[in-house]
Amino acid sequence: MPHAEVNGTTLHYRLDGPEQGPVVMFSNSLASDLGMWDAQLAPLTSAGFRVLRYDSRGHGQSAAPPGPYTIELLADDAVALLDALAIDS
């Protein structure tokens, strides 16, 4: 499973679907991981979307650096992951 070094941590992610498709990004909720989005994967990829799912810091296979974790920090992680993967929109 791929990982990206972003915003001072390591995030585990999955990118599925057609390479040129529009990207839909999913982040897990508290105490879960990117697997929570498995049911959405097939319908979205078959409709032509590229699906980016990732484990938020401290969850799943992502690193768990010391906190505190804030909404702003988690949002910065999401933007940094998009940047690291060169996803514009």
27-78 pLDDT, tens digit each: 999 999 999 999 999 999 999 999 999 999 999 999 999 999 999 999 999 9
Rounded mean pLDDT of 12-31?
A: 97
Using CA atoms of 36, 30, 70, 78 in order, give the dihedral in degrees to the nearest 10. Answer: -10
Phi and psi at residue 28, to the nearest 5°? -75, 160
In a domain, 66, yes or no: yes
pTM: 0.93
The count of structural domains within the chain is 1
pLDDT above 90: residue 83: yes
pLDDT of amino acid 1: 80
Instruction: Locate the DSSP E strands across the chain.
Output: 3-6, 9-16, 23-27, 50-54
pLDDT of amino acid 88: 87
In a domain, 89, yes or no: no
The boundaries of the domain holding residue 52 are 3-84
Domain of 54, CATH number, reads: 3.40.50.1820
In a domain, 34, yes or no: yes
**CA pair distance 60, 23, nearest whole angstrom:** 22
